[in-house]
Structure 1
Amino acid sequence: MIQLKEVVKIYQSKSGNVKAVDTVDLDIKQGEIFGIIGYSGAGKSSLIRLLNGLEKPTSGSIEVAGQRIDKIGGRELRKARQEISMIFQHFNLLWSRTVRENIAFPLEIVGVKKESRDKRVAELIKLVGLEGREDAYPAQLSGGQKQRVGIARALANNPKVLLCDEATSALDPQTTDSILELLVDINERLGLTIVLITHEMHVIRKICHQVAVMEEGRVVEQGEVLQVFKKPQQSITKRFVKQVTEPEDTKATVEHLLELYPKGRVVQLTFVGDAAEQPLITNIIRHFEVEVNILQGKISQTQSGSYGTLFIHMDGNDLEVERAVSYIQNQQVEVEVILNA
């Protein structure tokens, strides 16, 4: 559905050239929810603007829904954009138009007759859950409702691709989750390919099938979300993963443990997929003569399954502790000894 080959984007400025996108290769399949994550200045906003032709690459090729976006312009590009819609962080609604009129706007532009237009708008209002708010103006809507209008408007022309530019950054956590759930529903119902950029790993974890991590214009890591969570390779990816998988006070807990437990081991367990559902701690206590204290932990759900970390303290005979650790490893759970006192 979307293919980028050796894409480079250089901006010229008085202080010199800035390489915002540096030799990026991506292959996004039809029907995927593909996340691009990075901190400010990583190049992700420039990259998403390249996908719908708002920017042209300095070099490389970009194909979206069968069209070479980097090669076309004018009327041909405007036609191609009907299949590539976009939603924005700050909604970009027409404040003098009602919900119904905002959603109808792209249909008016392409000359859809009023009867067909009204029918399509009614379908979209129902799809995004805005029944009863059709005649409200943007100033009368909550942030989440405004973004639902933006999503409905983006879907008006039945696009094949939906680009999301930090679409939940201006929303509170609860509203963010409701918008992400709506995007998943749209993806499943319509088979729509969704590409979203974000600096929040929670967004990636919640809805994406694949993720690309950007740093200084380059894609430094990419893959299936669950696998990236399981074995992040780059330091920036590890920082992002820790946002949602590891409690913030891990270091403090381990230091405090040195005072509470002068002997024994502090062990970090990493669960992926079915392993997260096992009664692991119960089985350890039943089968081995060790004391186990659960310190802290967190399990996160991804589109491909569960991922979690658990910190425990184990104490007992050295041989029994070793046997317990070996047992854990045989359950397809990764084990890292954090403290061995």
Structure 2
Amino acid sequence: MISIKDLTKVFQTKDQEVRAVDELNLSIDKGEIFGVIGYSGAGKSTFIRLLNRLEEPTSGEIELNNENLTGLKKNELRLARQEIGMIFQHFNLLWSRTVFDNIAFPLEIAGVSRKKREERVNELIELVGLSGRGGSYPSQLSGGQKQRVGIARALANNPKVLLCDEATSALDPETTDSILDLLVGINEKLGLTIVLITHEMHVIRKICHRVAVMEQGKVVESGDVLDVFLHPKEKVTKRFVDQVMGDPDREDSLNLIQENYRSGEVIQLHFVGENTNQALISDLSRKFEVDVNILHGKITQTQKGAYGTMLVQLVGDEEVVNQSIEYIRTTSVEVEVSPNA
């Protein structure tokens, strides 16, 4: 669907050359929700603006359905952009136009007849949950309603791809969840490919099928969301996973736990999918003469299934503790032994 090869964007400032996107390579499948996450300055906003050439790449290629977007002339690009919708963090609505007219605007530009515009706009108003608000102005809408208008407008020309540039960052948590649910519904109903950038792992966790982690203009890690949650390799990825799993100071926490629980072995358990329902703790207590103290635990849901972690202390004879750890390794639950402080 989307193939990105050696994509690079260099900005020349007064003092230095800044490589905002640095030889980035990605492949995004048709019909998936693909997340790009990174902290401020990682290059993610520049990257998504390169996808529809709101920013011109310094080098590299972007292919959409085997068409090289980077090689298109201005008129050709205008037509190609009709297949790429985009929603923004701050909505970018026309404040002097009603909800209806905001959604109709790209259809006017495309030369769609008044009758067909009216049919399409009413269909979209219904789709995004704004029935009865077509005559309202943006100033009369909540943040979530404004973003629903932005989504409807982005869908006006039946695009194949929807780009979301920090689309929920200006919204409160409850409204964020409702917008994310809407995007999932649109993805499932229309088969739309969605590329979403964010700095919030909650957004990735809730709706994305795959994710790429950006740092200093590069993709440092990518894969299925559940796999990235389970096996984060890079330090920046671990920080993002800890946003959702509730321990942003994981290393400090482990050191503190080791100081306070020197008499036993502290281990971290990772549960995936159906394993989150596994009665492992009671099973250990029955099979081995060890005391199991639960120190911390959390389960979260991704598009591919549940993922849970639990930090426990095993107290008992050293040999028996080691036997219990080896027993855990024979199950489908992964175990990580914390290093001694």
The normalised TM-score by structure 1 is: 0.94
- Deviations along 1:86-106, one digit per CA (max 9) or x if unpaired, are 000000011111111111111
**Residue 262 to residue 52, structure 1, CA distance change in 2 (3 Å):** closer
**Contact in 2 for aligned 1:91/1:150 (Cα 8 Å):** yes
Give distance in 2, aligned partners of 1:212 and 1:108: 36
**Contact in 2 for aligned 1:267/1:338 (Cα 8 Å):** yes
**Contact in 1 for aligned 2:254/2:338 (Cα 8 Å):** no
Q: Secondary structure at the match of 2:76?
A: helix
**Residue 340 to residue 11, structure 1, CA distance change in 2 (3 Å):** closer
- Deviations along 1:11-65, one digit per CA (max 9) or x if unpaired, are 2222232211111111111001111111111111111111101122111111123
Within-5 A mapping of 1:276-291: 276-291=276-291
Q: What is the match of residue 37 of structure 1?
A: 37
In structure 1, what residue type is equivalent to 2:256? E
2:227 is equivalent to residue 219 of structure 1: no
In structure 1, what residue type is equivalent to 2:216? E
Q: What is the match of residue 256 of structure 2?
A: 255
- Deviations along 1:174-224, one digit per CA (max 9) or x if unpaired, are 111111111111111111000011111111111111111111111111111
Q: What is the match of residue 197 of structure 2?
A: 197
Give distance in 2, aligned partners of 1:63 and 1:249: 40
Q: Secondary structure at the match of 2:71?
A: coil
Within-5 A mapping of 1:286-305: 286-305=286-305
Give distance in 1, aligned partners of 2:207 and 2:317: 44
Give distance in 2, aligned partners of 1:262 and 1:45: 46
Give distance in 2, aligned partners of 1:15 and 1:28: 36
Give distance in 1, aligned partners of 2:256 and 2:199: 30
Q: What is the match of residue 46 of structure 2?
A: 46
Superposition deviation, residue 336 in structure 1: 2.1
In structure 2, what residue type is equivalent to 1:40? S
- Deviations along 1:282-314, one digit per CA (max 9) or x if unpaired, are 222232222222221111211111222111122
2:120 is equivalent to residue 93 of structure 1: no
Superposition deviation, residue 274 in structure 1: 2.6
In structure 1, what residue type is equivalent to 2:104? A
**Contact in 1 for aligned 2:89/2:170 (Cα 8 Å):** yes
**Residue 71 to residue 127, structure 1, CA distance change in 2 (3 Å):** same
Q: Secondary structure at the match of 2:54?
A: coil
Give distance in 2, aligned partners of 1:122 and 1:44: 34
**Residue 220 to residue 4, structure 1, CA distance change in 2 (3 Å):** same
Q: What is the match of residue 108 of structure 1?
A: 108
Q: What is the match of residue 60 of structure 1?
A: 60
**Contact in 1 for aligned 2:258/2:340 (Cα 8 Å):** no
Q: What is the match of residue 162 of structure 1?
A: 162
In structure 2, what residue type is equivalent to 1:48? I
Return 146-155 or 279-288, whichever deviates more. 279-288
Give distance in 2, aligned partners of 1:254 and 1:308: 21
Structure 2 gap segments, 5+ residues each: none
- Deviations along 1:64-91, one digit per CA (max 9) or x if unpaired, are 2332111112211111000001000000
**Residue 258 to residue 18, structure 1, CA distance change in 2 (3 Å):** closer
Give distance in 2, aligned partners of 1:60 and 1:249: 38
Superposition deviation, residue 252 in structure 1: 4.7
Return 204-213 or 267-276, whichever deviates more. 267-276
**Contact in 1 for aligned 2:43/2:216 (Cα 8 Å):** yes
**Contact in 2 for aligned 1:296/1:310 (Cα 8 Å):** yes
Q: What is the match of residue 210 of structure 2?
A: 210
Return 287-296 or 45-54, whichever deviates more. 287-296
Superposition deviation, residue 256 in structure 1: 5.8
Give distance in 2, aligned partners of 1:97 and 1:115: 19
2:235 is equivalent to residue 235 of structure 1: yes
In structure 1, what residue type is equivalent to 2:224? E
**Contact in 2 for aligned 1:207/1:302 (Cα 8 Å):** yes
Q: What is the match of residue 18 of structure 2?
A: 18
**Residue 264 to residue 339, structure 1, CA distance change in 2 (3 Å):** farther
Give distance in 2, aligned partners of 1:25 and 1:339: 36
Q: Secondary structure at the match of 1:187?
A: helix
Superposition deviation, residue 317 in structure 1: 2.7
Provide the aligned C-alpha RMSD in A.
1.8
